[in-house]
């Protein structure tokens, strides 16, 4: 009989606030209409997206796609629909999420490497994505397809932004007037920067690059920030250098209607260089949407807020400079020379001076915000009314902070320095550093996680943090019997006792005199604990209740103390130690790659286990005290017998150091010989120690797995990783058969290599062109292509069968209908074309083109036969046209060369024209009817009398106010 095992599946993930793989986005709370609200933060958390309430520190929503294991690398919010977010992933995929229902509505696949930046256009119908594969893809969100791929950068894309100027036409008087034209609107322009230090301006109408500049002189461009009115931008790179560019919006809007552009026109103009205080490379430049500020930061613990001076301030600065220049000339060349200079200076036009002012006179550093940890991303938080500036900061240390920055208009005097303060933070639901140890309470309800600087106690069922303690650099921890006290061993050599109920530190003992405590374990009888450290000793500590006097009184209070009872000295540093469950033996792993087993009572040496080539990092003893399993930095796991110390088996377990091993107390067989291993290769493996076989490989973490803990009843497993997440894996009732698991692994490997080989074979025609097709073959598209081919084959067989029956029916009217395929009968005797259309409709719009590319040319005539039938019966004409035009474009040469195909296309063209004419007439009739209804409603409604002249005056005043604040005039 084939032995089966029970499968472990992921159930919970917690301990994460935000990961440093992606930017964050601030969004206003829908219900929070008051100006006091801090809004919501949308952040990446490995493969999930979390929405936090910044003020309350509560997790509001968790967006997760069960089919996606890749990390989130970019987030963008639509400017027209605040509930729509685009999220880019590590595997090159993009998903559009609806935040109201926390569901992915559209999925795109086009990039071959992680997405680095995403941007919506102002209408919200297009999305641009840049990735590490140097490509920029523009996606149509209505049709759910990739329009085209722009190639031009030689390294990863670091910034992109749509530039969509209003269309202007020039009147006879020479004035530019904005006009609303009924014709097709212009596609606009796209501004991109890359790590290759280039800034490019793309014309999306003609789909080519119209301008390229070297953005940074010192090697790389890492960030792009565009002003809210798109009249200028800032690029940032290495050594604290920022370049300011003026963008000629008027020239762009006029060029949108022209075919032939003069080569002398330069839309991007270099306005100068600014220097940050920090010399680190910049990561992000973010403009405030409503005020003249921008934030820039690198990978250091600070964010620099810069301010754009007003026109009056710039004029004052220029006047002060002229005055100083005159005074200097007067001092050096005498009064006469000074008077000559004075005359020249007075003749200058101040307006010209403002436009040609040095960029350092226009921008000034407002304040440097010092943050708790290294900054990964920032976003401006909007608040109603003219209040202080609010800056949302996401750190690399699993933290979100909201800073309030005092604006210049709020300063009491001009000499006051602008200030800031940390208003809010979301920090409790996670550690700031990597978790190094985990411990589960005896009732399996609580979890202790220890890291550098903090110890946290969690409720496993609700995933909430119950207690947080400040501690040293914790390396190991354990619950004491009763689950009310947790003991922690630190890198500084201290044993610290924490009371969970009162949230206090009970005692701190300098146990190993400054040497790191690498391991500790509570004795099976619960009366003592043993600690092993880098001072080459294992020390035994007993728990004593001591009556301590309360200071200033005669009263005493009971207090738990650790009292050293025994000491075991060994030849090298102790990395791990473990009691056998029957408490007779103590196993000690040393830095010299050996494991020594001692008798617990006499501390005499019982066994020496030799075999590992590198130090043993972890070990565990089975619950019947018969087996010991050891894991090492040499990537091997060894299973030993505790009766004679013989090595039963050496398993090459992982692709990197095996950091943790742990036996399951009571598995389905009951012998407790199943164990887990966790490694730096980001996987957990489930093993049978009797058969020496791998039962299951558990993937999910995105970093090395530092800690592992198995529940006491063996029903779940907890792991903690470098990706800052704590994950719970629960045993299910689903059975695992080893042969099936091996087959699944081989299939996964085959699918990965198959899609990779398809990706590495680009279309030869598109390889060197600036514009290419936005396509990418995935397992999903391959399977969709196979479904289409299968449907076409079945459909053609059924069509032929039915045609033969119709022909035979002419001579024999009483002829019985033929036996059709069971699929058609099961679906209610539907026709072949309806069945093929249903198969095509079930394929996602974003995957349809790639699925059609899978079809061989031999299947194309069959597809065109059905397209003709679709047109004849008016079945989903938009989809029919889309497939027809795509196939004509793809197989143009072969179709033109085939006589039969050309004859077939004539009939299809006539049928499609007839169908489109019917739809056009129907739509025209409906539009006319709606106009009539609109006129009727307008007649019944209350008339509004508005002074046209007053409207024009207000618009003129608003336009002049906006012009004063325009980026280009003062930069």
Residue 239 DSSP label: G
CA dist 348 and 612 (Å) reads: 84
Q: What is the pLDDT of residue 677?
A: 95
Whether 767 shows a pLDDT value over 80: the answer reads no
**Least confident piece of the model among 34-38, 346-350, 380-384, 553-557:** 346-350
Mean per-residue pLDDT, 569-597: 93
Q: How far apart are CA 135 and CA 131, in angstroms?
A: 6
Q: What is the pLDDT of residues 572-582, one digit of tens each?
A: 999 999 999 99
- Asked whether residue 384 carries a pLDDT value surpassing 70, the answer given is no
Query: For 237-284, how does the pLDDT look when each residue is reduced to its tens digit (9 = 90+)?
Result: 888 889 999 888 888 887 765 655 555 678 888 888 888 888 888 899
| 698 DSSP β-pair partners | 684
Is 800 buried (19+), middle (13-18) or exposed (0-12) by CB count in 10 A? exposed
CB 781, CB 854: distance < 8 Å: yes
Hey, what are 839's tokens?
A: 């198969």
Write down the pLDDT at residue 386.
58
Range with the lowest mean pLDDT among 516-525, 544-553, 765-774, 807-816?
Answer: 765-774
What does the angle CA 771 – CA 772 – CA 774 come to, to the nearest 5 degrees?
Answer: 125
Instruction: Provide the 10 A C-beta neighbour count for residue 219.
Output: 13
**Percent over 90 (pLDDT), the chain:** 39
pLDDT score of 312: 83
The predicted pLDDT at position 319 comes to 85
pLDDT at 351 over 90: no
Question: Which residues 6+ apart lie within 8 Å of 171 measured at CB?
Answer: 177
pLDDT at position 253: 80
Joined together, the tokens standing for residue 123 give 């209408």
Q: Could you report the per-residue pLDDT of 118-169, keeping only the tens digit for each?
A: 999 988 899 999 999 899 999 999 888 888 899 889 999 999 999 988 765 5
CA distance 947 to 935: 22
Output the pLDDT for position 487: 94
Identify the band that residue 171 occupies on the pLDDT scale cut at 50, 70 and 90: very low
- Minimum mean pLDDT range among 257-261, 593-597, 677-681, 716-720: 257-261
Answer positive or negative: Cα dihedral of 697, 701, 707, 713.
negative
- Judge contact between 380 and 321, C-beta under 8 A: no
Q: In 10 A of CB 22, how many CB atoms?
A: 29
Q: Is residue 554 very low, low, confident or very high in pLDDT (cuts 50, 70, 90)? A: confident
Q: Which band of pLDDT confidence, cut at 50, 70 and 90, is reported for residue 286?
A: very high
Phi-psi region of 611 (alpha: psi -120 to 50; beta: other; left: phi over 0): left
Q: Which two tokens stand for residue 268?
A: 């991007």
| Residues whose CB falls within 8 Å of the CB of residue 4, separated by 6 or more in sequence, listed in order | 735, 736, 737
**Mean pLDDT confidence for 622-639:** 92
For the ranges 399-408, 718-727, 763-772, the lowest mean pLDDT is seen at 763-772
Instruction: Report the alpha-carbon angle 37-42-47, nearest 5.
Output: 155
Strand order in the sheet with 25-27: 25-27, 40-45, 48-53, 58-63
- Looking at residue 584, its pLDDT comes to 92
Is the pLDDT at 340 greater than 60, yes or no?
A: no
Q: Are strands 616-621 and 605-609 parallel, antiparallel or unpaired?
A: unpaired
Cβ atoms 457, 466 nearer than 8 A: yes
CA angle 428, 429, 432 (to 5 degrees): 70
Query: pTM of this prediction?
Result: 0.84
Model confidence band, residue 539 (pLDDT cutoffs 50, 70, 90): very high
């Amino acid at each position: 009989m084939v032995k089966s095992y029970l499968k472990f599946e992921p159930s919970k993930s917690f301990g994460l606030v935000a990961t440093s793989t992606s930017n964050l986005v601030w969004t206003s709370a829908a219900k929070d209409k008051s100006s006091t609200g801090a809004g919501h933060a949308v952040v990446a958390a490995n493969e999930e997206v979390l929405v936090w309430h910044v003020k309350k520190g509560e997790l509001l929503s968790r967006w997760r796609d069960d089919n996606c294991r890749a990390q989130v690398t970019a987030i963008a919010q639509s400017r027209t629909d605040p509930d729509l977010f685009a999220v880019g992933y590590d595997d090159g995929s993009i998903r559009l999420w609806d935040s109201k229902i926390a569901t992915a509505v559209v999925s795109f696949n086009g990039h071959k490497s992680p997405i680095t930046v995403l941007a919506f256009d102002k209408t919200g119908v297009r999305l641009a994505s840049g990735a590490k594969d140097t490509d920029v893809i523009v996606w149509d969100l209505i049709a759910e397809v990739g329009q085209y791929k722009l190639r031009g950068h030689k390294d990863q894309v670091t910034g992109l932004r749509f530039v969509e100027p209003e269309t202007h036409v020039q009147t006879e008087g020479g004035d530019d007037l904005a006009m609303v034209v009924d014709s097709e609107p212009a596609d606009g322009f796209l501004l991109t920067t890359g790590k290759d230090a280039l800034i490019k301006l793309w014309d999306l109408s003609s789909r080519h690059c119209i301008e390229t500049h070297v953005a940074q002189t010192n090697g790389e461009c890492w960030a792009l920030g565009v002003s809210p009115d798109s009249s200028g931008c800032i690029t940032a790179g290495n050594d604290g250098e920022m370049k300011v560019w003026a963008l000629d919006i008027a020239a762009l809007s006029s060029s949108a209607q022209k075919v032939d552009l003069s080569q002398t026109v330069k839309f991007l103009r270099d306005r100068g260089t600014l220097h940050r205080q920090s010399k680190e490379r910049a990561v992000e430049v973010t403009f405030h949407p409503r005020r003249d500020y921008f934030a820039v930061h690198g990978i250091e613990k600070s964010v620099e807020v810069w301010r754009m001076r007003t026109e009056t301030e710039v004029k004052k600065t220029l006047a002060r400079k002229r005055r100083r220049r005159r005074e200097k000339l007067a001092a050096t060349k005498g009064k006469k020379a000074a008077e000559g200079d004075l005359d020249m200076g007075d003749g200058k036009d101040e307006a010209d001076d403002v436009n040609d002012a040095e960029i350092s006179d226009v921008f000034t550093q407002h304040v440097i915000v010092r943050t708790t940890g290294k900054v990964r991303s920032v976003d401006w938080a909007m608040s109603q009314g003219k209040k202080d500036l609010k800056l949302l900061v996401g750190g690399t240390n699993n933290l979100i902070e909201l800073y309030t920055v005092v604006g210049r208009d709020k300063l009491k005097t001009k000499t006051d320095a602008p200030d800031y303060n940390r208003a809010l933070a979301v920090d409790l639901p996670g550690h700031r550093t990597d978790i190094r140890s985990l411990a589960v309470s005896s009732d399996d309800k609580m979890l202790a996680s220890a890291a550098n600087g903090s110890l946290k106690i969690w409720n496993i069922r609700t995933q909430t943090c119950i207690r947080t303690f400040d501690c040293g650099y914790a390396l190991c921890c354990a619950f004491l019997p009763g689950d009310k006290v947790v003991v922690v061993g630190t890198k500084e050599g201290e044993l610290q006792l924490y009371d969970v109920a009162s949230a206090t530190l009970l005692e701190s003992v300098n146990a190993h005199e400054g040497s790191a405590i690498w391991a500790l374990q509570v004795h099976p009888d619960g009366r003592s604990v043993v600690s092993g450290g880098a001072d080459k000793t294992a020390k035994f500590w007993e728990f004593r209740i001591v009556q301590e006097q309360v200071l200033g009184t005669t009263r005493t209070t009971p207090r738990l103390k650790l009292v050293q009872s025994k000491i075991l000295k060994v030849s090298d540093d102790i990395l791990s130690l473990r009691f056998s469950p029957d408490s007779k033996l103590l196993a000690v792993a040393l830095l010299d790659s050996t494991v020594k087993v001692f008798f617990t009572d006499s501390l005499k040496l019982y066994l020496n286990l030799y075999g590992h080539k590198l130090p043993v990092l972890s070990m565990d003893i089975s619950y019947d005290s018969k087996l010991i399993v050891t894991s090492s930095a040499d990537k091997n796991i060894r299973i030993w017998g505790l009766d004679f110390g013989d090595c039963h088996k050496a398993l090459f377990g992982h692709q990197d150091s095996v950091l943790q091993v742990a036996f399951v107390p009571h598995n389905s067989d009951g012998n407790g010989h199943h164990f887990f291993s966790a490694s730096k290769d980001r996987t957990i493996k489930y093993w049978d120690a009797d058969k020496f076989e791998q039962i299951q490989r558990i993937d999910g973490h995105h970093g090395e797995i530092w800690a592992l803990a198995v529940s006491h009843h063996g029903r779940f497993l907890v792991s903690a990783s470098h990706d800052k997440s704590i994950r719970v894996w629960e045993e299910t009732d689903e059975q695992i058969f080893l042969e099936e698991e091996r087959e699944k692994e081989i299939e996964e490997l085959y699918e990965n290599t198959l899609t990779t080989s398809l990706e590495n074979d680009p279309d030869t025609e598109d390889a060197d062109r600036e514009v290419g097709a936005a396509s990418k073959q995935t397992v999903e598209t391959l399977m969709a292509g196979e479904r289409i081919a299968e449907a076409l084959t079945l459909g053609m067989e059924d069509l032929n069968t039915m045609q033969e029956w119709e022909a035979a029916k002419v001579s024999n009217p009483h002829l019985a209908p033929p036996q059709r395929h069971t699929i058609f009968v099961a679906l209610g005797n539907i026709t072949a074309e309806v069945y093929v259309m249903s198969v095509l409709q079930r394929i996602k719009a974003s995957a349809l083109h790639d699925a059609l590319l899978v079809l061989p040319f031999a299947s194309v005539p069959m597809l065109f036969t059905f397209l003709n039938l679709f047109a004849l019966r008016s079945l989903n004409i938009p989809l029919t046209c889309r497939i027809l035009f795509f196939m004509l474009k793809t197989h143009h040469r072969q179709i033109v060369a085939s006589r039969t195909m050309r004859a077939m296309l004539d009939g299809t063209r006539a049928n499609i024209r007839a169908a489109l004419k019917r739809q056009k007439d129907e739509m025209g009739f409906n539009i006319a009817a709606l106009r009539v209804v609109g006129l009727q409603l307008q007649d019944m409604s209350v008339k509004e009398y508005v002074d046209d002249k007053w409207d024009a005056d207000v618009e003129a005043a608003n336009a002049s106010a906006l012009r004063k604040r325009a980026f280009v005039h003062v930069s």
